[in-house]
Amino acid sequence: MKLNHLIIVLFFIQTQVIAACVSVGSGDWDDPNTWVCNGVPGVPGCGDTITITAGHTVTIRNQQNYSEPGCGTPMFVVVNGTLDFPVNGPKLQLPCNSGFIINSGGSLSASAPAGGGSANFLEICGTVYWRKADGTQTGPISYGAPLPINLVYFDALVIEKTVLLTWVTASEINNDYFTIERSVDTKIWETVLIINGAGNSSQIIEYTETDFNPISGVSYYRIKQTDFDGRFEYFNIVPVKYNTSIEEDEINIFPNPANQGGNISINHNFNSTDKVLVVLRDLQGKEFYSKVHIKINKDELVGVPIDYEIPKGIYFIVATSENKIHSKKLIIK
């Protein structure tokens, strides 16, 4: 009996999972309808990684004290939307080694009516990092411990009959692996790919993977990042529209990604009499190529050289004809 009891205890220890909570809409911190935690409705608890999705406002109306004895596991709060204190008094207190991260587009605010400057505050391990008197804080900004990874970019791009998935990290801490998940409704997710992380890194790392069996129509992709200790977090959702054939007046680019020193071909369905201006720009708008192509035959391929002087990265090909403008992303590697 004692041996069986020991086996059961070891089983529960080895299968323990630290939760991640992601907001599914605006609402109160205490409301289970605001969150999905480990795939089911719930509320944030000790040791969770909590993500407020862009466009959502989560409000704290009651005291949230996770620093009390019994909660010694670090927590991370990632704000892509808004965390607001609409009433005076409640505070958010996190245990030691926790982190509070506001990403670009996110904010921390206290919309409560006039009250003391310390009526609301954010505390980590007994240290106050923000008070109501400090006013609204907008990202990017970080308090306390850093996240396991600093994700600076994630995108999904339709390339012919596949979806190219690209993400870039500026740093990684204790990062075991990434999971690429896909959904048609942002509620039920399936695993598409699992990719090893870099462990610990302070260098910029670019990851590129391909979904060879995309879903027809509109679907969504997201990244789940898992630490060596089992902690995990989710990042923002990226939509994709995949069609099996080229639409009227659309452009396609191949190869994509393209190599420095090579050429790309552009297929476009503009009328045969059209003149098409083709421009290559980077994400900051800098122009690397611009030329007017006179269309002779419908579906004619237009060639664009990719000089060695063009840095590796993400670009836009913009094709303009009369009052029509179409663009596609291009990756140069």
Q: Give the mean model confidence (pLDDT) for residues 151-163.
A: 79
Mean pLDDT of the chain: 80
Helix (H, G, I), strand (E, B) or coil at 208: strand
Residue with tokens 């419908």: 298
Residues 265-277: pLDDT tens digits? 887 766 655 677 8
Position 200: which residue type?
N
Which domain CATH number covers 237? Answer: 2.60.40.10
For every residue of 157-201, DSSP letters joined together read EEETTEEEEEEEEEEEEEEEEEEEEEESSSSS-EEEEEEEEEEEE
Q: Does the pLDDT value for residue 10 go beyond 50? A: no
Q: Tell whether the torsion through CA atoms of 119, 123, 129 and 135 is positive or negative.
A: negative
* 171 in the same domain as 124: no
Which domain CATH number covers 321? Answer: 2.60.40.1930
d(CA 152, CA 155): 11
* 108 in the same domain as 213: no
Contact residues for 326 (Cβ-Cβ < 8 A; gap 6+) = 249, 250, 251, 268, 318, 319, 320
Q: Give the mean model confidence (pLDDT) for residues 245-269.
A: 75
The pLDDT of residue 271: 60
Q: Which of 242, 261, 295 is the last residue of a domain?
A: 242
* 21 in the same domain as 105: yes
- Look up residue 75 and give its DSSP letter: -
* 176 in the same domain as 122: no
d(CA 96, CA 86): 26
The pLDDT of residue 196: 94
* 115 in the same domain as 17: yes
* 232 in the same domain as 167: yes
pLDDT tier for residue 32 given thresholds of 50, 70 and 90: very high
d(CA 30, CA 157): 37
Q: Does the pLDDT value for residue 101 go beyond 70? A: yes
Alpha carbon separation from 159 to 55, 209, 317 (Å, rounded): 29, 12, 14
User: In terms of residue numbers, what domain contains 154?
Assistant: 149-242
Number of domains into which the chain is organized: 3
Q: Which of 208, 224, 242 is the last residue of a domain?
A: 242
* 218 in the same domain as 185: yes
Residues 177-190: pLDDT tens digits? 999 999 998 888 99
Closest by Cα among 263, 295, 291, 296 to 277: 291
Q: Which of 222, 242, 262 is the last residue of a domain?
A: 242
Terminal Cα distance for the chain, rounded? 61
Q: Give the mean model confidence (pLDDT) for residues 255-265.
A: 86
By the 10 Å C-beta count (0-12 exposed, 13-18 middle, 19+ buried), 132 is classed as buried
* 163 in the same domain as 135: no
CA contacts within 13 A on the Cβ side of 332: 24
* 183 in the same domain as 60: no
Closest by Cα among 277, 257, 266, 261 to 310: 261
* 163 in the same domain as 138: no
The pLDDT of residue 269: 65
* 64 in the same domain as 80: yes
pTM of the model: 0.51
d(CA 147, CA 130): 19
The pLDDT of residue 323: 56
| Token digits of residue 73 | 């596991």
Of the candidate ranges 10-14, 48-52, 163-167, 236-240, the one whose mean pLDDT is the lowest: 10-14
Closest by Cα among 256, 253, 257 to 265: 253
* 138 in the same domain as 67: yes
pLDDT tier for residue 285 given thresholds of 50, 70 and 90: low
* Ramachandran bin of 135, using left for φ above 0, alpha for ψ from -120 to 50, beta for the remaining angles: left
The pLDDT of residue 1: 36
